[in-house]
Amino acid sequence: MDVRLARPDDLRHLPRIERSAAAAFRGSSQDAIADDEVSPARVYVPLQAQGLVWVADDATGRIGFAACEAFDDALHLWELAVRRARQGQGVGRALVRAVIDAARARGCAAVTLTTFREIAWNGPFYARLGFRELAVHELDGRLAEVLSREAEKGLDVATRCAMRLAI
């Protein structure tokens, strides 16, 4: 497996990877996520142009991706997706490490994200990589706004959290 910066021609594959990854939610407390809309490839165009999308490849093709946005203090991980058949094999961990390395190289203070608190491959996965769940009083305006927009989209705020990894 190889993790590299995404090229423009990689972007058309990302929605299929995200759809495959979402299948992991089937049968979980967040079952509806499995049928949610995925982000169209065009969403990733500006992030890829800034060097903020990574893909994981193996002999079968593209198997995962991570997409971030740069803010003054942090890289924010918007999406981490690994094809369902390749989950649990270190692909997600390798992609997150690429994001952390990029944040460090850019001089960012942190990597941030929002995720489901209790789903094993969400909050607990990131915690094992060193991310810390932020209490409500620790949220900056940006992360509070992200969680608020997620609630407007129908995500249960009681199940969501913001996490931060200090660099």
Domain CATH code at residue 101: 3.40.630.30
Query: 53-58 and 61-70 as β-strands: parallel, antiparallel, unpaired?
Result: antiparallel
Residue with tokens 């094999």: 89
Residue 31 to residue 65: CA distance in whole angstroms: 22
The CA–CA distances, whole Å, from 46 to 51, 67, 76, 82 equal 9, 11, 14, 21
Question: At 45, is the secondary structure helix, strand, or coil?
Answer: helix
Tokens of 82: 């690994």
pTM: 0.95
Domain holding 24, by residue range, is 2-166
pLDDT of 74-88, one tens digit each? Answer: 999 999 999 999 999
pLDDT range class, residue 45, cuts 50, 70, 90: very high
Residue 31 predicted with pLDDT over 80: no
Per the structure, how many domains does the chain have?
Answer: 1
Residue 127 to residue 18: CA distance in whole angstroms: 22
